[in-house]
């Protein structure tokens, strides 16, 4: 952590699950954070929510001593910020109204990053005076630990600034050239989960075994190498071109057999019962702690590894 980090003053707008994680990461990388949430209870609780997240980040070597101040007004929070991370509820109209207030109060050069999971940049920016200053900067939950951030914004200056900033935080930014609902990672995750639900609904395996098949198989491989580069290796000396010639038809046959489930009451029951069996009585909080411990161990073990697939933006 440098004495004066790139973009030293940041604002966090919306202090729920994702906002608290961002605030912890910004502070742990030495930034001064001004946070705001319309709910006074959220503002009061913020320090307590952030403390354990900062302890986790310290274990990964992020021990910056940035301060987090919960502000009474949005305007106070954004007044001096070079970067504003918006984490309000997933509602386009609400975000548009928020951006109007932010634009009126923030420095002209500030970039606004939106954590939106599935809203389109073109929608949420459509009522802004200077839409170019908005970029989608979508983290993956838990946002303080997971390296991925998906960046989309048609203004090259702000999008590049976003990529640089995210790298300075130790993140792995991936820049999208076009917008898509759900960006990249959640679309990929949705495609995979659709098939997982199909397999559970058809009774091919229990929910726990389907999860295990992913975690112990492709999941582990994908934590190192993305699917395209993995199939490049699957083609031997001839690489992906040879793979496509040799096993492309077999992939196409598999694609045509993939399921397209609906979330009917019966399918929901299979999932809820299956997950209850897999959780084995562990509470959500216990499962979160267990997940975070595993993630921290994996991250500590893979320090500074190259991102799987994808050139740097």
Residues that bind ligand NAD (CB under 6 A): 13-19, 37-39, 42, 87-90, 94, 98, 115-117, 138-139, 141
State which residue, 37 or 103, has the beta carbon closest to ligand NAD.
37
As measured in angstroms, the least distance from the Cβ of 125 to ligand NAD is 14
Q: Among candidates 82, 147, 137, 142, which has minimal Cα distance to 115?
A: 137
- Side-chain-side CA neighbours of residue 44 (13 Å): 3
Pairwise CA distance, residues 11 & 101, whole Å: 14
State which residue, 111 or 116, has the beta carbon closest to ligand NAD.
116
As measured in angstroms, the least distance from the Cβ of 69 to ligand NAD is 16
Pairwise CA distance, residues 31 & 46, whole Å: 16
Positive or negative CA dihedral for 38, 166, 92, 84? Answer: positive
Pairwise CA distance, residues 108 & 129, whole Å: 11
State which residue, 41 or 237, has the beta carbon closest to ligand NAD.
41
State which residue, 19 or 153, has the beta carbon closest to ligand NAD.
19
State which residue, 139 or 261, has the beta carbon closest to ligand NAD.
139
Residue at shortest CB range from ligand NAD: 16
State which residue, 41 or 156, has the beta carbon closest to ligand NAD.
41
Positive or negative CA dihedral for 132, 136, 137, 143? Answer: positive
- The β-bridge partners of 281 are none
Beta carbons of 10 and 84 less than 8 angstroms apart: yes
Specify the DSSP element, H or E, that contains 69: strand 68-70
State which residue, 221 or 289, has the beta carbon closest to ligand NAD.
289
Pairwise CA distance, residues 193 & 180, whole Å: 18
As measured in angstroms, the least distance from the Cβ of 118 to ligand NAD is 7
As measured in angstroms, the least distance from the Cβ of 42 to ligand NAD is 4
As measured in angstroms, the least distance from the Cβ of 189 to ligand NAD is 11
As measured in angstroms, the least distance from the Cβ of 239 to ligand NAD is 35
As measured in angstroms, the least distance from the Cβ of 165 to ligand NAD is 17
Q: For the stretch 288-306, what's the b/e string if a residue is b when 16 or more beta carbons lie within 10 angstroms of its beta carbon?
A: eeeebeeeeeebeeeeeee
């Amino acid at each position: 952590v440098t004495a004066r980090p790139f973009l030293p003053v940041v604002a966090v707008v919306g202090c729920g699950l994702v906002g608290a994680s961002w605030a912890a990461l910004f502070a742990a990388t030495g930034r001064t954070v001004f946070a705001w949430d319309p709910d006074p209870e959220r503002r009061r609780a913020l320090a307590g929510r952030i403390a354990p997240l900062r302890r986790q980040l310290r274990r990964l070597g992020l021990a910056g001593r940035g301060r987090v101040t919960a502000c009474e007004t949005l305007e106070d929070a954004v007044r001096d910020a070079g970067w504003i991370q918006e984490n309000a509820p997933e509602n386009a109209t609400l975000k548009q109204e928020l951006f109007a207030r932010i634009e009126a109060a923030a420095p002209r050069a500030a970039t606004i990053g939106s954590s939106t999971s599935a809203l389109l940049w073109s929608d949420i920016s459509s009522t802004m005076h200077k839409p170019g200053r908005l970029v989608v900067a979508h983290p993956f939950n838990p946002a303080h630990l997971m390296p991925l951030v998906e960046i989309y914004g048609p203004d090259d200056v702000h999008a590049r600034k976003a990529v640089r900033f995210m790298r300075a935080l130790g993140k792995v930014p991936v820049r999208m050239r076009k917008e898509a609902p759900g960006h990249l990672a959640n679309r990929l995750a949705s495609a995979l989960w659709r098939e997982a639900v199909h397999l559970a609904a058809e009774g091919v395996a229990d929910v726990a075994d389907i999860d295990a098949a992913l975690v112990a198989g492709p999941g582990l491989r994908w934590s190192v190498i993305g699917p395209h580069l993995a199939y490049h290796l699957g083609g031997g000396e001839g690489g992906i071109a040879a793979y496509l010639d040799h096993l492309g038809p077999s992939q196409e046959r598999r694609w045509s057999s993939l399921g397209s489930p609906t979330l009917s009451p019966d399918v929901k029951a299979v999932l809820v019962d299956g997950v209850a069996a897999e959780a084995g009585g562990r509470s959500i909080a216990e499962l979160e702690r267990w997940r975070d411990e595993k993630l921290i161990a994996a991250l500590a073990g893979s320090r500074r590894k190259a991102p799987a697939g994808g050139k740097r933006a």
